[in-house]
Structure 1
């Protein structure tokens, strides 16, 4: 039995895939066992290295919670600024006017090509040299600046691609009923493209959240990652346990964000499938009776 995308596997291919799957699973189990035994031999799995996270609130209140607050603050500020800025830049790249389209395209391609860490370091130097921002707040400003410049450029391309992916008939239909291009973009194209763009936008928001760790690693920004370094030193070079807890927190944050986005996408798709008012059975019977009476 064949499909449009691929031919059905024969008996030999099925046996080969089963063998490959079994070998892969064995390799994964062996790797996990090696990691476990190595950590156990080094004493990294001893209860003394993990108990403070389960029996005391000190590491949470002193290190993890302040770092988490700074991470969420930087990520939230970057998201709030980058999302509308990226939408504006993406729409501007579709402008019919070259004096708008060309400069915006240059800006987007420029900042999209520079690593976000370089933008953060440049921002830190810029705030130190030409502004009166205090040394305490400079890392936060630099992290947010780098995240906004890079991710707004990426989001601009996502918006542009989402709008261009719509059928041409949508824009043509809007023009046929007399809508100007700005009205067509605002009322017809952009609302439809949001559902298509949502998975890519959420992926970029997850990138924003994770990239805040660059500030903690390089710019002395007191985020969640920086708190792990301080915490592991305070509890006696407890590196593995500290970074494992921080990694679990990052996973939980990103999973929550993607879960919310999946729910929102399903809700938007269901709303678009709706055909308007729903007729109940009594309404249908009344309409049928009226039709029969006229006949």
Structure 2
């Protein structure tokens, strides 16, 4: 079946695609077999290494669950602070006032150019040097600070791009009926831009969840990935098993987040297609009768 953007495949193209698919599947099967055999030769698939995660609750209650709680705590705090801050910076970059637009642009470009790990390390040093935050809480504060500064800058660009992607005619029409810039932004541009920005925003939220692992790797923040190191040492160097379980948890967490975002985006798009109140058949007949009667009366008067 042909379309404007795609031509139907001919017999040769179909055969070529089938050959490529078969070759890819064979190569993938060979790679998986090589990984499996290598792990088996190294003894990483033995039952005692996987038993703590499949039979008991000790590994989950002592290591995995506390680490997951710290990961979610840091991610939620970073999201709650970064999203409104990013929206504010993104709107500020669209301001007509130079004294608002230029400083916001400098802040966004500065923190967007610095790696998030560097921001976390600087945050840890600043909290240790200039605040009274306890040494036990400093890693959490530093991780959240780094995530907020970096991701707020990225979200600001997402917000700015989402607003600029809307047709200019809407802004011109709103100003023509007397709406102020703030009313235009709140009532017309932002509600429409949210739907367009949602996939990019969700992608950035997934990045926030994954970047919490940097705090565990460098700042001794006891998050989910850091718990895998302690757990593998306690259960006899089952590194592959521990990190596999942690990876599956990260995949499930991010998949749930993207699934929810997809559902929310579809719901928002459906709600915008609504036409308001539903008019029944009887109401339509009454309206038609009233219109005909009014036209007849007007003709009689003439």
Whether these two folds match at TM > 0.5 is yes
CA distance in 2, matches of 1:96, 1:289: 52
Partner of 2:174: 174
**How far apart are residue 52 of structure 1 and its match?**
1.2
Deviation at 1:275, TM superposition (A): 1.1
Pairs within 5 Å for 1:1-295: 2-291=2-291
Instruction: Name the count of aligned residue pairs.
Output: 295
Other structure's SS at 1:50 match: helix
In 2, the alpha carbon distance for the partners of 1:64 and 1:162 equals 38
CA distance in 2, matches of 1:55, 1:17: 45
Q: What is the CA deviation profile of residues 221-272 of structure 1, one whole-angstrom value per residue up to 9, with x for unaligned ones? A: 0000010100000001010111111111111110111111111111110111
Report how far residue 16 of structure 1 moved. 1.7
Deviates more, 1:267-276 or 1:37-46: 37-46
Map Cα deviations across residues 48-73 of structure 1 (whole Å, 9 max, x no partner).
11111121111011000110110000
- Alignment deviations for residues 66-89 of structure 1 (CA, whole Å, 9 cap, x no partner): 101100000000000000000000
Quick one: distance in 2 between partners of 1:47 and 1:262?
A: 38
CA distance in structure 1 between the aligned counterparts of 2:35 and 2:169, rounded to whole angstroms: 56
Unaligned ranges ≥5, structure 2? 297-302
Query: In structure 1, how many angstroms separate the alpha carbons of the residues matched to 2:293 and 2:105?
Result: 65
Judge which range, 224-233 or 11-20, deviates more. 11-20
The structure whose Rg is larger is 2
Cα RMSD over matched residues?
Answer: 1.4
Separation in 2, partners of 1:258, 1:2: 32
Report the alpha carbon displacement of residue 182 of structure 1 after superposing the two structures with TM.
1.2
Query: 1:160-207 CA deviation, whole Å, 9 max, x = no partner?
Result: 000000000110011011011111011110111000000100110010
Mapped to 2, the partners of 1:253 and 1:17 lie a distance apart of: 35
